[in-house]
Structures are given as structure tokens and as C-alpha cells.
Amino acid sequence: MNHLSLADWCILAAALIPLLFTGIAKFGAHGRDYNNHAPRKFQAGLNGWRARAHWAHQNGIEVFPLFGIAVLLAEFRSAPQAWTNILALLFIGWRLLYGALYIADRASLRSAVWTLGFLCCVALFAIAA
């Protein structure tokens, strides 16, 4: 019987991380102002750290397909599972740090961390070759 790998569970984590950041944006210190009748309008009006949390959410959605495809391709092509797991875990760690740095408004460091996460995806493709 086949079980989900650690890298497979990381795909789920990568799908859930954006929800963490949108939750921070919506239900932060002023969460009582959240308007569930027009959430996109509400989010467009955010500012400061709440806007940055929303942007981290959006970026997480944007990068998810690349990561998911990279993991699945590595597994379908029988890349070493240990390396697939390590790269997937590193990606998740970088994404969590990325979001924290985005919220903290540490733009240069955030961009460096984004690059490290992106390189994990590239490495997953490389080990699948």
C-alpha cells in the first residue's frame, strides 16, 4: 500500500499557507471591520501590515502551481525521495519566512527568501531530469 510522502504533505501545506496569511489580514487587530459580503473590496482597502499579509496570501496562490507540479514531477520521474522531501520542506520553511518578512515590511530580505523558495522548485525539476 502506498502512502503519501512527506513532500506530498508539503503540497497540502503550500495550499494552506496562503489561508494563514489571509486570516492574518482579515482577522488582525481590526478584524471586526472585516466585510464578508464584499471580501475583495475589503481586502483592496487594507493598508500597512494587513495589506502586506494579503499580498503574501496572493503570492502564495501564485507560486503554488509551480511547487505542486515540481513535487509531483519529481515523484513521477522517480527522483530520490529523500531529496524531494528535503526540497519540499525547505520550500515550506522559506514560504513561512517569506510571509513573516512580508508582514514585517522587510522587502530586501523577503525577496531573497522568495528566491530561495523558487530555487527549491527549480531543484525539484532538476532532480526529476
Residue ranges and CATH numbers for the domains of the chain are 6-128 (1.20.120.550)
pLDDT exceeds cutoff 80 at 96: yes
For residue 91, the model assigns a pLDDT of 98
Read off the C-alpha cell for 81: 525521495
What spatial distance separates the first Cα and last Cα of the chain, rounded to whole Å?
27
pLDDT exceeds cutoff 70 at 1: no
Percent of the chain with pLDDT over 90: 81
The predicted-structure confidence for 37-59, as pLDDT tens digits, reads as follows 888 888 888 999 999 999 999 99
pLDDT band at 32 (very low <50, low <70, confident <90, very high): low
Of residues 40 and 8, the one with the higher pLDDT is 8
Q: Which of 51, 62, 41, 40 is nearest to 102 (CA)?
A: 51
CB atoms within 10 A of CB 24: 20
Instruction: Tell me the average pLDDT across 66-72.
Output: 98
Residue type, 37: H
Residue type, 68: G
Q: Which of 107, 104, 109 is nearest to 94 (CA)?
A: 109
Instruction: Tell me the average pLDDT across 16-21.
Output: 97
